[in-house]
Structure 1
Amino acid sequence: MLKNLSLFLLMVLSSLALQAQPSWITEAVPGAQKLGGGTLRFIGMKIYDAELWAKQEFDIERFTEQPFVLKLTYARSLVGKLIAERSDKEIHQLGLADEARRKAWLEQMIKLFPDVKQGDSLAAVYIPGKNLTMMRNDAVLGEIGDPEFARAFVSIWLHPNTSAPDLRKALASTR
């Protein structure tokens, strides 16, 4: 009886785990699984939960060479323009682009990034050498057509000099 109950619970939990992974993630990155996750806080306030979806062999030290999905689920409402401006500031602090290029990217981010409310998710689909595809609540939001932008944007979270090193570590640590 206990063996049957254990088997039943294993099947239920497995199906719940599969349901938790949106199908678009494995379509974008075949073989992807959730590798890690963490929470970004600012002055103690929870801003969002982040998840990294990639193949099991993902190496964070070579993140720009591998496909992955970075998904953020917001804990509070934020204005899209402010998300874009903060992203620009992070790219600037990492020294990943000159001012002219960042200005062009900022204009594109302001057009693309929506306002979010608690529970909304935004995700970046990163494929090396390709445009960055943005998702909102598991639907395509749009693209920014510059592979250099794609690399700079995902560096906000995964670059060794990120402003959130604990989050970076958490994103790549759950295996």
Structure 2
Amino acid sequence: MTVIARSDLAAAIMLITLWFGVVVPAQSAEPASSVVTETPVTKPDAVALEVWPTVGQARLKILFWNVYDSVLSTPTGTWQDKGPYQLALTYLRDIPAQQLVDETEKAWRDQGRSHPDENLWLKSLLLLWPDVTEGDTLVLAIDAEGNNVFWLNNRVIGSIDHPDFGAFFGGIWLDADSPRPALRAKLVGQK
């Protein structure tokens, strides 16, 4: 019975920490791919962190574990199914980068999505994201053209230089086929 309980606990923790692939820079011996940009996009005003009205907010909770609080903000305070927007995730527990990347891939599978460059994106995210710790806030900022920048605790950590990435990644939370429809409804203001 104890072994079953521990395995259930481990599975639940893994599920919690892995579900929403979010930002976490991991250390790697591999050189950074040209897809990962270490500096802000050349239009920093377009993807800078802004103080925008909140569209919606939600907490991801799996079983009895709180994973993160999420907040979606736009210039108008309403969701228009595209950028510009900022999606902020404030983590309520420590999560290794590899788990976040694995969960990103799982979310895309759950949505039935694939992209020719997704493996490169996943490798780039692993290089870009650090392990997150409780209290860290990761923000995905998307401008009107779909350019993206990741911020961790109010510091730019990089971007994925591909025109499809922002919508593909942000769609985990914001598209109608989100693997977490109740969380999505709260984020986009449908409550």
TM-score (norm 1): 0.75
Structure 1 residue identity aligned to 2:89: L
Q: Does 1:37 align with 2:57?
A: yes
Q: Does 1:81 align with 2:98?
A: yes
**Helix, strand or coil for the counterpart of 1:133?**
strand
Give the structure with the larger helix fraction. Answer: 1
- Over the matched positions of the two proteins, sequence identity in percent amounts to 26
CA-CA distance at 1:127 after TM superposition: 1.6
Which structure has more relative contact order (CA 8 Å, sep 6+)? It is 2
Q: Does 1:71 align with 2:115?
A: no
CA-CA distance at 1:58 after TM superposition: 2.7
- Residue 154 of structure 1 aligns with which residue? 170
CA-CA distance at 1:26 after TM superposition: 9.4
Match of 2:74 among 32, 54, 66: 54
Contact 1:40 1:46 in 2 (8 A): yes
- Residue 20 of structure 1 aligns with which residue? none
- Residue 127 of structure 1 aligns with which residue? 143
Runs (4 or more) in structure 1 with deviation over 4 Å come to 24-27
- Residue 144 of structure 1 aligns with which residue? 160
Structure 2 Cα separation of the partners of residues 28 and 169 of structure 1 = 26
- Residue 38 of structure 2 aligns with which residue? none
Count of residues in correspondence between the two structures? 148
Structure 2 residue identity aligned to 1:173: G
- Residue 93 of structure 1 aligns with which residue? 110
**Helix, strand or coil for the counterpart of 2:102?**
helix
Most deviating of 72-81 and 41-50: 41-50
Contact 1:25 1:32 in 2 (8 A): no
Q: Cα–Cα, structure 1 residues 136 and 31, in superposed 2: closer, same or farther, change >3 Å?
A: closer
Deviations 1:73-98 (A, max 9, x none): 00000001111111122123223323
Structure 1 residue identity aligned to 2:93: R
TM-score (norm 2): 0.69
Contact 2:55 2:187 in 1 (8 A): yes
**Helix, strand or coil for the counterpart of 1:63?**
coil
**Helix, strand or coil for the counterpart of 2:130?**
coil
